[in-house]
Amino acid sequence: MAIDVFIGGLGCITALGKGTNAQLERLASGRSGLGELTLFETSHQATVGEVPLKNEELADLLNLPRVKEYSRTTLLGLAAAAEALEDSGIERDGLRIGFISATSVGGMDVSELFYREYHKDKNRGKLRQLIGHDCGASTQFMCERLGIKDFATTINTACSSANNAIMLGTRMIKAGMLDVVIAGGTDSLCRFTVNGFSSLGILDRELCRPFDKSRSGLNLGEGAGYLLLCSDKVKTARRYGKVTGYANANDAFHQTASSSTGDGAYLAMKGALEQSGSEPGDIGYINVHGTGTQNNDASEGVAMKRLFGENVPPFSSTKGYTGHTLGAAGGVESVFAVLSLFHGYIWPNLNFTAKIEEADVTPETRCIKRDNLKAVMTNSFGFGGNCTSLVFESAKN
């Protein structure tokens, strides 16, 4: 007997604020969280999406002792994952619960502090700042705090990481291996990513302009987003929707670029749509990857035209609100997509003025209230052409 996978809880923290209510209010009002980088000094001029809380404030909100130094990735992830668990209202007794977390930065923000001292003098530097460097360290710590013991793993496939975490969690529930999975991703801003993306020449010093003719790069962001997934036998406070479609594809075109024909994006969207059993016309909104780079937006636009023809659903990139949160992007934007489905909103694509030349597609620029959205799609595409799309459907259908 087929097992339906429902979304029973949401948790999110981004430059828009802490908690899903903060995300909902800012998305609906069209108020971006992008601004000047203040977390650390860098020689690069960067507009970013910073979470408006310092590490000490996050630790206090999470009731963590000050005696330990926590990576910002861990703090952001725990804030969002704990919210998703609490939001669900599940009774945990007898349930097999897993945690699948995605990250690309891991504890780099703290290990960078160690390196600055160690580089000056090989006898200096606090070794405890290296303990959380590995991507799996944040997952392990969050599991301990959340009391999850049945299953845990960490996924790093660049910017598709969190979508792949949600896909794996869904598959494990469908296979009868787990009853509940908290799945998503977390990443923090750090010098490595600012320097790295600057070296690629794809950082926009101004506000990013996804799918706009004048786009010139992305704004980096930080945050975390998690979905609490559960089988249909698990009782939750509410059901936000169902995960009905998912697919991963790899166009293997280039280390950091997508093909001009959008092969990976097309195959991921096509596979997710087919698995969901939905018709193309059932998709009422697509939260696109939409980074604001020349390459990504052109490739994704071409892929949407290949799949949907002249009937591309309403779509937008929400990176104009949060910046590109890298390994957390799929988690954050899955939360946004589920909020769209549950509350009936189509989020606006900020900073858009003119459509791109490579694909004849125009994003939605207004916040639209639409009753009875049946299904939404969200895309996250990573370096190396690792592309993942998810389809969420209303639990009311």
Find the catalytic residue in 12, 135, 208, 324. 324
**Using CA atoms, how far apart are residues 234 and 67, in angstroms rounded to an integer?**
38
Q: Which of 150, 171, 152 is nearest to 95 (CA)?
A: 150
Per-residue tokens: 77: 């992830």
Burial call 294-315: b when 16+ CB within 10 Å, e when fewer:
ebbbbbbbbbbbbbbeeebbbb
Asked if 360 and 136 touch (Cβ cutoff 8 Å), the reply is no
**Using CA atoms, how far apart are residues 211 and 127, in angstroms rounded to an integer?**
44
Annotated catalytic residue 44: no
The DSSP call for residue 317 is -
**Using CA atoms, how far apart are residues 126 and 137, in angstroms rounded to an integer?**
17
Q: How many CB atoms lie within 10 A of CB 370?
A: 13
State the helix-helix crossing angle for 20-29 and 329-343, rounded to 10 degrees: 70
**Using CA atoms, how far apart are residues 381 and 156, in angstroms rounded to an integer?**
12
Q: Which of 140, 111, 143 is nearest to 128 (CA)?
A: 111
Find the catalytic residue in 12, 133, 289, 387. 289
Annotated catalytic residue 133: no
Per-residue tokens: 119: 């580089």
Annotated catalytic residue 289: yes
Q: Which of 347, 49, 60 is nearest to 187 (CA)?
A: 49
Asked if 395 and 373 touch (Cβ cutoff 8 Å), the reply is no
Q: How many helices and strands (H and E) does the chain possess?
A: 11, 15
Asked if 274 and 249 touch (Cβ cutoff 8 Å), the reply is no
Tokens 């700042």 sit at which residue?
Answer: 129
Asked if 383 and 295 touch (Cβ cutoff 8 Å), the reply is no
Q: Is 65 exposed, middle or buried (0-12, 13-18, 19+ CB in 10 A)?
A: exposed
Find the catalytic residue in 143, 159, 208, 387. 159
User: Which residues participate in catalysis according to the annotation?
Assistant: 159, 289, 324
